[in-house]
Chain A
Amino acid sequence: MNNIELKQTLPEVFASRSTIESDIWRQDVTLERGKLYLVEASSGTGKSSLCSYIIGYRQDYQGLIRFDGRDARSFGVGEWTRIRQRHLSHLFQELRLFPELTAMENVEIKNRLTGFKPRKDIEQWFEVLGIADKMNAKVGLMSFGQQQRVALMRALAQPFDFLLADEPVSHLDEENARVMGELMMEEARRQGAGVIVTSIGKHFTLDYDRIFRL
């Protein structure tokens, strides 16, 4: 997958609004593979909706979203499953981890599906992110900041053309955010993937190719 196009896209709930001032809504935007984007948003501007539309979780929008020119609305169950496994990784704002599994199991449940990373690579990520001691701890017992790092590892345990990181560092200090940003970009570069980071304030200090205001 080489590009994601948003053509005059608008959440249906915004349809009644007369003025929309946004770099994305009701615009024609193309996100390209290999580039790094930041979507800055204020609360209530539809950031979560945007992520849900791209990942295929919701379709309550006007306009078009196209992957390599193909209308995302036309994809069936099998197609979306394939996209989520191979082409589009999503780091959820609400993390969507499984609290009853350990940190390692949370990463493995994805990695076993994709068979993407050897286990020692994952163990190394734990080291790098500074939570190696939490590897076998239940995620439900970890802090949100620690959980964010587990969620990032899970998002990286698959091949992808685009990584959609929804507020990835909201609960991390500068140093941890930097480490996490580096890991994320390293993996993205290795795969030649595009990265879309969203933020409502705090965000990675990275060399963005383009910054959108939602």
Chain B
Amino acid sequence: MMLVWKLLRKHISLLQVGGFFLANLLGMLIVLLALQFYCDVRPVFSQDEGLINSDYLIVSKRITALGGSSAFSEAEIRDLQEQRFTKSVGAFTASQYRVSCSMGIDGVANFGTQMYFEAVPDRFVDTQSSRWKFAEGDTQIPIILPRSYLAIYNFGFAQSRSLPKISEGVVSMVDMTVVLKGEGREGRMTGKVIGFSNRLNTVLVPQSFIDWSNGEYAPDADAAPTRLIVEVGNPTDDAIAHYIQAKGYDIDEDKLDAGKTTYFLRVVSGVVMGVGLLISVLSFYILMLSIYLLVQKNSAKLQNLLLIGYSPARVSLPYQLLTVALNAFVLLLALGLLWLIRSYYMEMLWQLFPTMDEAAVWPALALGGLLFVVVSVLNVLAVRRKVMNIWNRKL
């Protein structure tokens, strides 16, 4: 075997092998990285809601150019309640007074805004009841924020003003100052963010707080609900869609935004993986061409070996081992680099999304293994074919 190798290693071009090595490494790394990044980032966009059960639908009236009331009348609510698919209906109650809120981060920057509160009956909110409660006399209001608010701050505002990004965990630790104004009175309270929701595009507070504060600061206002939260038996029931359409209502498409983002993430990852695969395929061609060239240059020797009794399998073996070893080395190096790069970006992701679950790495491992096996098998077959061509004197 050593003598055969000594013979056949002649004409191996380091430049070609190196070229293949780099190209294959790059291709493999891009493919694996794209897949791993997709797996790592996806949970961020499809984070489990937790707070609002996904079997709840949020129904509003379609806003038209003609105006008209966007509030639901009692009759309409009753009608919805009586539908076969409905289990229970809850109304969103909005604050009828002025609310402003400010938040200081380490005393460095102040982030203040006018805002409003809404509440749904407590039974629709899945959170520890000890944290989701308000009684008259309390000075702290539990709040659930839309997750998108934090994204707006982190990716838009903080980015452009060079302010620190804040995680959900940090927000939950910060006390917000909430000022309530109405009826010539002003109240100052603290707001405590206890959770984030993808499904509710509103600042949610406990029903008991809204009832108390509306009575306190806007006792005369009529608070007809503009949105309803509906618990249904089967969210995929066709009857729901028909009813909603017939009535001209809108349903907040569940996780639509996240769905879109995930879709784009998938498209981008797919494109990047495609590029990686293309590079891999090209590198495969480099290797094949260089092996063909090698076999061609050594064809007289291969021919002689076959004529003195070496089998085509035995003559092919050195080149096959060479390619498989190269592929294996590329795979290991790619996985090593992937691990390095991943630990770098995971750190950044964790800063942004501290509650994020760590995704599995086996899809990337499996894909890397699959690429290795496919490329190696093709290499082995190609070498064998070339040697058989020599056997059959076709070269």
Q: Does B133 contact A (CB under 8 A)?
A: no
Q: Which residues, 70 to 124 on A, are CB-close (under 8 Å) to B?
A: 77-78, 81, 84-85, 90, 92, 96-98, 100-101, 105, 108-110, 112-114
Inter-chain CA distance A101–B308, complex, in Å, is 15
What is the CB-to-nearest-CB distance from A121 to chain B, in angstroms, rounded to a whole number? 18
Q: Which residue of B lies closest to A99 (CB)?
A: B301
B304 at the interface (CB under 8 A from A): yes
**Residues in A whose Cβ lies below 8 Å from that of B311:** 77-78, 81
Chain B CB count within 10 A is highest, among A58, A81, A90, for A81
In the bound complex, do residue A98 and residue B301 qualify as a contact, i.e. CB atoms below 8 Å apart? yes
Contacts known (A58-B393, A77-B312, A98-B301); A108 close to B3, Cβ less than 8 A: yes
| Closest chain A residue, CB of each to CB of B310 | A113
B3-57: which have CB < 8 Å to A?
3-4, 6-7, 10
B67 at the interface (CB under 8 A from A): no
Q: Which residues of B contact A58 (CB under 8 A)?
A: 393
Contacts A77-B391, A98-B301 given; does A113 touch B7 at CB 8 Å: no
A158-B307 Cα distance, complex, nearest whole Å: 13
A154–B310 alpha-carbon span in the complex (Å): 13
Task: Note all chain B residues with C-beta closer than 8 A to A92.
Answer: 307
| Interface of chain A: mostly helix, strand, loop or mixed | helix
For B3, what are the chain A residues with a Cβ–Cβ distance below 8 Å?
101, 105, 108-109, 112
Number of interface residues of B (CB under 8 A): 19
Which chain A residues lie closer than 8 Å to B7 at the CB level? 98, 100-101, 109
A residues 4-37 with Cβ under 8 Å of B?
A: none
**Residues from chain B with Cβ under 8 Å of A154 in the complex:** 308
Give the docked Cα–Cα distance between A31 and B43 (Å): 79
A81 to chain B, nearest CB (A): 4
Given contacts A58-B393, A77-B391, A98-B301, contact A110 B6 (CB under 8 A): no
Distance between A193 CB and nearest chain B CB, rounded to angstroms: 15
Q: Complex formed: what's the CA distance from A52 to B305 in Å?
A: 15
Which of B10, B309, B310 has the most CB atoms of chain A within a 10 A radius of its CB? B309
User: A96, A100, A112: which contacts B307 (Cβ < 8 A)?
Assistant: A96
Q: Does A55 contact B (CB under 8 A)?
A: yes
The CA of A158 and the CA of B303, in the complex, are separated in Å by: 19
**Quick check: B312 and A84 within 8 Å, CB to CB?**
no
B288-312 vs A, Cβ < 8 Å mask (1 yes, 0 no): 0000000000000101110111111
Shortest CB distance B394–A (Å): 13
B304 touches A96 (CB 8 A): yes
A110 to B304, CA, bound (A): 11
Residues of chain A lying within 8 A (CB to CB) of residue B6? 100-101, 105
Given contacts A85-B309, A96-B307, A109-B305, 4 further A-B contacts (CB under 8 A): A77-B312, A84-B309, A100-B6, A101-B7
Partner-B contacts on A (CB < 8 A): 55, 57-58, 77-78, 81, 84-85, 90, 92, 96-98, 100-101, 105, 108-110, 112-114, 154, 158
What would be 19 A-B contacts, judged by CB atoms less than 8 Å apart? Answer: A58-B393, A77-B311, A77-B391, A78-B311, A81-B311, A81-B312, A90-B308, A96-B303, A97-B304, A98-B304, A100-B7, A101-B6, A105-B3, A109-B305, A110-B309, A113-B308, A113-B309, A114-B309, A158-B309
